């Protein structure tokens, strides 16, 4: 019996040799395997959340994540290159955030996550204010820096993970993180070395 990562695949299925199984899961999901799509959801939910959080109000991010994955499931047949699932779903998330902002009346930055969620976790008013200030500062940065910083600082991804999942080159991610952190420190009034 094949391991769960190979659910829905047979020996004739041609996939790339990625070590994480993402390409296999995307191929299987394209063939209608819901388990494989669930694995993709597990793997990419943080990425999608970070992309949305960099663009949309924090209170809407969780619902938008579900919208993005519903859209991806509906359009999985349009995925030409299963090895690029991360870049594909990242673009769906960017487009969904843009659509959401066009349709909504709230365009201001909000704390991350919302006040009630932070309060229930025992986060002090001072910490909530600092989080709100940091998120507002991140959202004021150019888009390339904003997205990579949220993925790094909020979602906890490292540079190689960001590159792998978004389809950006590792060099671009390094540059964006470096320049973005420098600008963020400057905006937050911290000394830049």
Give the pLDDT confidence of 52-71 residue by residue, as tens digits.
988 888 889 899 999 999 99
CA dihedral 6, 81, 161, 97 (to 10 degrees): -120
Write down the pLDDT at residue 106.
Answer: 46
Tell me: pLDDT of 181 over 50.
Answer: yes
Chain segment 60-102, per-residue pLDDT in tens: 989 999 999 999 999 999 999 999 999 999 999 999 999 998 8
CB 36 within 8 A of CB 7: yes
Chain segment 117-128, per-residue pLDDT in tens: 555 556 677 877
Return the closest-CA partner of residue 41 out of 113, 96, 89.
89
CA dihedral 154, 160, 166, 172 (to 10 degrees): 100
Report the alpha-carbon angle 52-53-58, nearest 5.
120
Query: Which residue ranges form the domains of the chain, and what is each CATH number?
Result: 20-105 (1.10.1740.10)
- Residues of the chain with pLDDT > 70: what percent? 78
Tokens of 39: 């694995």
Side-chain half-sphere of 186: how many Cα atoms within 13 Å? 9
Tokens of 119: 């309060």
> What is the average per-residue pLDDT within 7-25?
52
Side-chain half-sphere of 165: how many Cα atoms within 13 Å? 26
- Which burial class, exposed, middle or buried, applies to 64 when counting CB atoms under 10 A from its CB (0-12, 13-18, 19+)? buried
């Amino acid at each position: 019996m094949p391991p769960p990562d190979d659910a829905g695949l047979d020996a004739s299925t041609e996939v790339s040799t990625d070590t994480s199984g993402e390409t296999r899961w995307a191929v299987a999901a394209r063939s209608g395997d819901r388990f494989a799509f669930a694995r993709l959801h597990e793997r990419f939910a943080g990425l999608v959340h970070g992309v949305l959080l960099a663009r949309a109000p924090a209170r809407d991010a969780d619902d938008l994540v579900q919208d993005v994955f519903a859209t991806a499931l509906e359009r999985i047949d349009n995925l030409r290159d299963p090895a690029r699932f991360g870049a594909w779903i990242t673009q769906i998330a960017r487009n969904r955030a843009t659509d959401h902002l066009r349709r909504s009346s709230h365009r201001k930055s909000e704390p991350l996550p919302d006040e009630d969620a932070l309060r229930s976790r025992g986060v002090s008013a001072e910490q909530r204010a600092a989080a709100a200030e940091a998120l507002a500062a991140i959202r004021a940065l150019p888009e390339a820096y904003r997205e990579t910083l949220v993925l790094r600082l909020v979602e906890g991804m490292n540079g190689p993970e960001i590159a792998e999942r978004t389809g950006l080159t590792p060099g671009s991610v390094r540059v964006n993180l470096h320049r973005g952190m420098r600008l963020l420190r400057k905006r937050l009034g911290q000394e830049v070395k």
